[in-house]
Structure 1
């Protein structure tokens, strides 16, 4: 299934795509895709619904983030071998974990604000993993049972805030609108292998990122198990799993985003995003 939220900001309704890629309204069945709605039995109940029996939504409404009520937005740094190489970093012996504020989450095509004082706003296409049931001390063998599905994330980053202002990375990752998520939550049964998905990102039509989840250092199965050793992962939590090479920081000379720039990105089977950047 491809699940989504549509409608004006703060008034989003749940929907799913039918076989023709049209939005069908699910508000008569669930309130949103959050918490218990993401449990395996809840998704099974939705899977039993024939989308063609649901109300058709005409036109092209705004899409909200495909998951609601996210409690934790967990990110993995330097998780692609080729991205680590372009930044001159060594491959970490364990996953680098940092948090992105959930207040950064916006819809996949919403405008993104370049924060005041920013000189180095950057892009990162990433595979998002959405947790479907509480995971605590889970093994790698059982880790995938806790994944509700996958989505596209642009882990927008302000590099000066991140690396030149002391402290942890969080303040360079958590600015308002820095977490476009969606367009869809694609349930795990539709993705045969999350470690074999092509991913790309363009800025103003120029391709900068053209990679694959094949080059992840720590894969989805490992990350879910690893993170669950340190904290409980709850339904609706998101793990953003890192980015392939081609970020602005990796260009020679560096290239960073400015007002009016348009970023488009996508992951195989998970849909596309488009954001126009503006000065805050």
Structure 2
């Protein structure tokens, strides 16, 4: 199943061109708010698995797609989760997931214009998991049962603020400017993938591919990340988890490759789709 935020209304994708408006099709059993469905996830999946009425079909305007999880209570992110990325950063491989957060106000949709703050803004393509069932003390073996689906995201980062201080103290701030957590274009349930632990992700800056990998190369898989996070914090339905970026980030290059005004960033995930953003000075 592929879930859309279509002009602020929850929809189920049919074929990429048409979708079913959930509130209309369910006669109000589920509301139009795309984020509220996560609190009814089990009930919704059962309903959506039946015959959806064609009378509730709407045309998909891809320019009107919003974030499939627009108001998470928590946004977690994992750093150094690919071996080559840790090596390019000159850091040792982590023994446990290296976790930081992005503020929920940074979440935005899969297209449009993002404001560039002063400093050095970098790209980081990532596979993103959205929680569908409350998770506390969940084992690796049970973790996928708590994931509603997968989407693609960018962990955009202003490196100067991120690394400011006598020791890097500002990860959360440098990664949480408005628009710095774009996700989309759809949420795809794990059963849609041949292997949800092996998905190709990539991004291109101004038409030149800058990052590409398969998520099977992650040091910590999504189930391991969920186990670790839920051993400390309760994960709530609709929470968002950025799972780490591969090598090729702009800050690690010589010379550095950073996002500038009018640049275009295209982000792609196999079986999910693509995001397209441009940038302007804040």
SS in 2 for 1:225: helix
SS in 2 for 1:181: strand
> Structure 1 residues 20 and 174, CA, compared in 2 at 3 Å: closer, same or farther?
closer
- Show the counterpart of 1:162: 162
- Show the counterpart of 1:137: 137
Which consecutive unaligned segments of at least 5 residues does structure 2 have?
none
Counterpart selection for 2:227 from 225, 228, 237: 225
- Show the counterpart of 2:93: 91
Is the counterpart of residue 34 in structure 1 residue 35 in structure 2? yes
- Show the counterpart of 2:12: 16
SS in 1 for 2:216: helix
Shift of 1:53: 4.1
Which consecutive unaligned segments of at least 5 residues does structure 1 have?
none
Residues in 2 aligned to 1:263 and 1:191: alpha-carbon distance in whole angstroms: 25
Q: Is the 8 A contact 2:17 2:60 kept in 1?
A: no
Shift of 1:61: 4.1
> Structure 1 residues 273 and 59, CA, compared in 2 at 3 Å: closer, same or farther?
closer
Alignment of 1:1-280 (within 5 A): 1-7=1-7, 12-19=8-15, 21-28=17-24, 29=26, 30=30, 31-37=32-38, 39-50=41-52, 52-57=54-59, 59-115=61-117, 117-118=118-119, 120-165=120-165, 166-280=168-282
Residues in 2 aligned to 1:61 and 1:242: alpha-carbon distance in whole angstroms: 27
TM-score calculated relative to the size of structure 2: 0.92
Shift of 1:60: 4.2
Q: Is the 8 A contact 1:200 1:265 kept in 2?
A: yes
Deviations along 1:174-217, one digit per CA (max 9) or x if unpaired, are 00010111100101211232221111100000010011102100
> Structure 1 residues 59 and 91, CA, compared in 2 at 3 Å: closer, same or farther?
closer
Shift of 1:48: 1.6
Deviations along 1:148-191, one digit per CA (max 9) or x if unpaired, are 10001111111111113451310110000101111001012112
Residues in 2 aligned to 1:192 and 1:145: alpha-carbon distance in whole angstroms: 16
Deviations along 1:221-268, one digit per CA (max 9) or x if unpaired, are 111111100010010001100011111012211111111000001111
SS in 2 for 1:275: strand
